[in-house]
Structure 1
Amino acid sequence: MARYLDIHPVNPQQRLVNQVAETLAAGGVVAYPTDSGYALGCSLANKEGLDRIRTIRQLNKKHHFTLMCADFAQLGPLVIVDNPAFRLIKQLTPGPFTFILKGTKEVPRMTLNPKKNTVGARIPDHAITQEILKAHGEPILSSTLIPPGEEEPMNEGWEIQDRYGHLLDVVVEGPVTLPEPTTVVDLTSGAPEILRQGAGELYGS
């Protein structure tokens, strides 16, 4: 059964944050809150963790996984962006947006969409997530925790512990601060294209 860590939403306890980072580094899979729903996460090159997330969510290999990043410094080496895309990402983050971008050779191939070589990327506005990312020291490979057959992400840590605790290594308890999932913006073909309208408002749209 997963360890259940209740982390303070404003002043996250470093001791507990470090436990999450250590679990990720050791190859574990964690459930953690973001600004727009809970996510499942593992370290970037963790193939077993990736497969575990796919199994929990019943995903196929076409699913876009997301690189959850603390800031653009973490994200930059992993994606290909032109100047307009860079400016847009800097303008809208941290915030409830997922950007679809071309991955660089630094991204493990198993992480990329197999046909398009694309990956999702997020810089969330959430204190707990930010502290975990900083302690981990690199992006977390993530997928929103939407149960199979459902449309909305899970928002309560204790419910995730009850339902999926036997399949996870850590469940972090903390608040989800927005009622909607992220807005998904494709930046691979020049002009931004909204693939899903969510909590984030694209400036000028």
Structure 2
Amino acid sequence: METKMFTKNDIAQAAKLLAEGQLVAFPTETVYGLGADATNPQAAAAVYQAKGRPSDNPLIVHVNSANMVWQYAAPTYQNVATKLMQTFWPGPLTIILPVAQDKLSKTVTGGLQTAAFRMPDNQLTLQLITQLGKPLVGPSANTSGKPSPTLPEHVYHDLHGKIAGILADGPTRVGLESTVLDLTSSVPTILRPGALTQEQLAQVIGTVQSSHHKVQAGEIPKAPGMKYKHYAPKAQVVIVDHPNDFEAALTWVQQTTKTFAVMATDAILQKLDLSQATATFSLGDSLESASHLLFAGLRQFDLNEDIEYILAQGSDDQDLGIAYMNRLNKSAGNNHFK
């Protein structure tokens, strides 16, 4: 299969392929998604196959309006959901709601009675959904387990020959996947942290809690990213929790005689002797830039077959740092330098 690269002038062609049951990757403000008609079970199943993703992992349903949500979701939590949509949509917030009976297939929901909905903040994708006239399922457009794609070239690297097209719109702005909020819990619960923090959500709807639940074998997760190893390059990522520990981490990794790379902010990179490093990657000058660039750095190192270890700068587990460390811990398998 030839994978075509589409631009803003090709939205009608991309929508036609989606209507025919084909897969087309699309841009969002967070990462690129792998799109299929959410009302077509066969197309949704093809998403799992293209990604190599276990089929008990639910798919996020991308919509172009709040009205489209209520064509598929039961209105049980409509009042609180509407407050969130009016405040944060379009944007990096995914809301889990009960599904109206027979409105979405088990292929989309992972067999659950709930579904995750999001309105992405990208005009090309909103136009694409409007042109199709139906919502899109959209997990990250990468091979399952690999770092999420923040550039159309990342998508092409993983999925060329497996999908019909990629709607390209340059680099994504946020770089981490959306915050996933479950409204069907007794207390609204964050299942996956993202750029929108617990405090921001609580300001709109009151009490919000974060889940620390670990999905067990045989259990179906309510949201993507909860069950399987994610975001991992071929090299072993080792998290360096404190800037003052980088010198010791460099000494350790050089003693292993393994090839290595370093991913850190400019302030760290500038003060280290990195003459022995195979490669380096700048995370910019702030937690915001680090979050935006994290997946791009992991992807860049993944293309270098010579790298065996990646020393990556950690962060405090607060605010945006919660989402940053969630992704970095998954990419490292919770491997921290001691």
SS at match of 1:18: helix
Structure 1 position 90, deviation (Å) = 2.5
Matched residue type, 2:106:
R
2:157 and 2:177 mapped to 1: Cα distance? 22
Q: CA deviation at 1:47?
A: 2.7
Q: Which runs of 5+ in 1 are unaligned?
A: 8-12
SS in 2 for 1:128: helix
Once the two structures are superposed, the pairs formed by residues 52-201 of structure 1 within 5 Å of their partners are 52-81=46-75, 82=77, 83-105=79-101, 106-114=103-111, 116-150=112-146, 152-175=147-170, 176-201=172-197
Q: Match of 2:14, as an amino acid?
A: V
Question: 1:104, CA displacement in angstroms?
Answer: 0.9
Work out whether residues 27 and 169 of structure 2, in 8 Å CA contact, stay in contact via their aligned partners in 1: yes
C-alpha distance after superposition, 1:46-70 (max 9, x if no partner): 2332222112222223211111000
Q: Number of residue pairs matched? A: 196
1:109 maps to amino acid: K
Q: Aligned partners of 1:162, 1:124: CA distance in 2, in Å?
A: 23
SS in 1 for 2:185: coil
Structure of greater relative contact order (alpha carbons < 8 Å, 6+ residues apart): 1
TM-score where L is the length of structure 1: 0.87
Given that residues 165 and 171 in structure 1 are in contact (C-alpha distance below 8 angstroms), is that contact kept between their aligned partners in structure 2? no
Asked whether 1:46 is paired with 2:40, we answer yes
Name the TM-score, length of structure 2 as normaliser. 0.55
1:10 paired residue number: none
* Cα 1:104/1:5, change in 2 over 3 Å: same
AA partner of residue 193 (structure 1): T
Q: Deviations over 1:25-52 (max 9, x none)?
A: 1111011111100110111232332222
C-alpha separation in 2, matches of 1:144 and 1:160:
9
Runs of 5+ unmatched residues, structure 2: 209-338
- Structure 1 residue aligned with 2:7: 6
**Higher strand proportion:** 1
